[in-house]
């Protein structure tokens, strides 16, 4: 039986000795969050200086300006955000340099990917990682999503480990120490299969920045702009990853997933016209309570105070926008290339649901594939790291019944089972 986790200090954190020592360190920090310092550090760490097309600078400036205006961020929070932007700028330099040296990468084909689109916290992560255990499919581990192109001249560590993997592992271990319940809510170990959305980061694009910090101005910019160029950029990075493994027996058919796709289904289909798209569906109230709890827990280290009211104001609106777009566009996906995946059915028999997805994708469920999938299921039982007990009304002051009323359009259109807790 998995351990139950109840976070009783969500809004008013009680800090461990380690957390207190980190917060004392925070008071001495002064983090410069500026375009100039970010780009300069990226140049220094790569030895490169050509970022390519400069349209990304407007998006970088928007993020920097919005986050500099956020007086609620601790210096540690600012440092984390700055590190992410430096990481994206470094990758942009490396990607652009590699493409200049090897223009043949553009000729690589990304054919018939299987793509999961669904709300965050709706089973998409389990579904992706489950299919990724099928050795006929290529997936994106977290460490590779963070640094898709190695730094030229950076050698493997003495034990043969890729330094990119080690950096990701070090970050995860620190995260587990400072916010230990995150492993139960959303594991981020280096081998964890991650979202291809991360590959839009070097283009300074995607809704991912909304998850990193409160960013309504970024959200509005994202809403108002065509995301197709950023999806094409992400596809190009997938080509790079495929090309980098060209002399190995690693498969070339990708399995991908991202919640953002729900509100970008026409763009997704335009960029990946031969994709099989699995659309997951779960009670959005359960999604929201999981989302805001996870974010509130993480805020104890990055923000000066945890504002549960701000979270419960923002994320129901955000989830509703995703679902309304899905409701409007789901019918535009070809019937022979798409399938709905109700959460309750997937949880009842995940292997059977994968078999249905494979049938749509024209991928046979072989004996070996079934064994690989079952081995993954056996090794990753639900709640392996503990089961978080949520209290939507107690922690955020809103009832499931009240919140569910705004999603009647979704319950009526899709095979969603409303949950009681």
Burial class (CB in 10 A: 0-12, 13-18, 19+), 109: exposed
Cα–Cα distance measured from residue 236 to residue 230, given in angstroms and rounded to the nearest whole number: 10
Joined together, the tokens standing for residue 376 give: 């993954």
- Mean pLDDT of the 108-124 span: 93
Cα–Cα distance measured from residue 291 to residue 272, given in angstroms and rounded to the nearest whole number: 28
pLDDT for residue 2 = 57
Q: What 3-state class would DSSP assign to 292?
A: helix
Buried b (16+ CB within 10 A) or exposed e, 55-68: ebeebbebbbebbe
Q: What is the pLDDT of residues 11-51, one digit of tens each?
A: 999 999 999 999 998 988 999 999 999 999 999 999 999 99
- Mean pLDDT of the 317-326 span: 98
The third-level CATH classification (topology) of the domain covering 4-413 is Rossmann fold (3.40.50)
Task: Give 1's pLDDT tier (boundaries 50, 70, 90).
Answer: very low
In angstroms, what CA-CA distances link 223 with 37, 216, 318, 319? Answer: 28, 10, 11, 14
Q: What is the pLDDT of residues 328-368, one digit of tens each?
A: 999 999 999 999 999 999 999 999 999 999 999 999 999 99
Where do runs of H (alpha helix) occur along 181-227?
A: 182-185, 208-212, 216-224
More confident residue, 234 or 182: 234
Angle 123-414-357 (CA atoms, 0-180°, nearest 5)?
50
Whole-structure pTM value: 0.96
Give residue for tokens 């271990």: 173
Domain boundaries, the chain: 4-413
In angstroms, what CA-CA distances link 295 with 210, 292, 315? Answer: 11, 5, 10
Joined together, the tokens standing for residue 379 give: 């090794």
Kindly state the DSSP code that residue 304 receives in the 8-state scheme. Answer: S
pLDDT for residue 67 = 98
Calculate what percentage of the chain has a pLDDT beyond 90. 89
- Say which residues have a Cβ less than 8 Å from residue 161's Cβ, sequence separation at least 6: none
- Mean pLDDT of the 108-115 span: 98
């Amino acid at each position: 039986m998995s351990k139950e986790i109840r976070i009783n200090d969500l809004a008013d954190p009680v800090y461990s000795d380690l957390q207190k020592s980190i917060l004392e360190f925070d008071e001495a920090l002064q983090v410069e969050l500026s375009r100039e310092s970010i780009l300069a550090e990226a140049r220094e760490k790569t030895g490169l200086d050509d970022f390519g097309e400069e349209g990304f600078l407007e998006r970088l400036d928007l993020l920097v300006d919005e986050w500099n205006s956020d007086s609620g961020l601790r210096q540690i929070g600012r440092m984390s955000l700055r590190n992410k932007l430096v990481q994206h700028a470094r990758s942009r330099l490396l990607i652009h340099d590699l493409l200049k040296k090897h223009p043949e990468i553009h000729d690589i084909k990304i054919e018939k990917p299987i793509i999961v689109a669904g709300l965050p916290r709706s089973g998409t992560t389990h579904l992706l990682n489950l299919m990724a255990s099928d050795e006929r499919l290529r997936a994106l581990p977290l460490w590779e999503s963070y640094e898709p192109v190695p730094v030229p001249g950076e050698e493997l560590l003495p034990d043969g480990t890729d330094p990119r993997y080690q950096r990701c592992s070090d970050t995860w271990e620190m995260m587990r120490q400072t916010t230990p319940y995150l492993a139960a809510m959303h594991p981020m170990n280096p081998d964890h299969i991650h979202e291809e959305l991360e590959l839009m980061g070097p283009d300074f694009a995607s809704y991912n920045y909304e998850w990193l910090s409160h960013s309504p101005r970024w959200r509005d910019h994202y809403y108002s702009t065509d995301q197709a160029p950023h999806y094409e950029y992400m596809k190009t990075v997938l080509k790079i990853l495929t090309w980098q493994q060209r002399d190995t027996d690693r498969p070339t058919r990708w399995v991908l997933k991202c919640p953002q796709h729900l509100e970008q289904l026409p763009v997704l289909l335009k960029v990946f016209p031969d994709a099989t798209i699995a659309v997951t569906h779960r009670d959005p109230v359960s999604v929201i309570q999981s989302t805001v709890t996870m974010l509130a827990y993480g805020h104890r280290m990055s923000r000066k105070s945890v504002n549960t009211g701000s979270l419960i104001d923002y994320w129901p609106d955000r989830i509703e926008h995703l679902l309304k777009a899905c409701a409007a566009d789901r019918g535009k996906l070809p019937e022979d290339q798409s399938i709905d995946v109700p959460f309750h059915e997937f949880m009842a028999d995940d292997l059977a649901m994968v078999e249905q997805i494979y049938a749509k994708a024209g991928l046979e469920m072989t004996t070996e594939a079934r064994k690989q999938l079952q081995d993954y299921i056996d090794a990753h039982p639900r709640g392996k790291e503990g089961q978080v007990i949520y209290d939507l009304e107690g922690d955020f002051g809103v009832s499931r019944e009240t919140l569910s009323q705004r999603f009647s359009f979704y319950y009526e259109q899709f095979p969603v089972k409303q949950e009681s807790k």
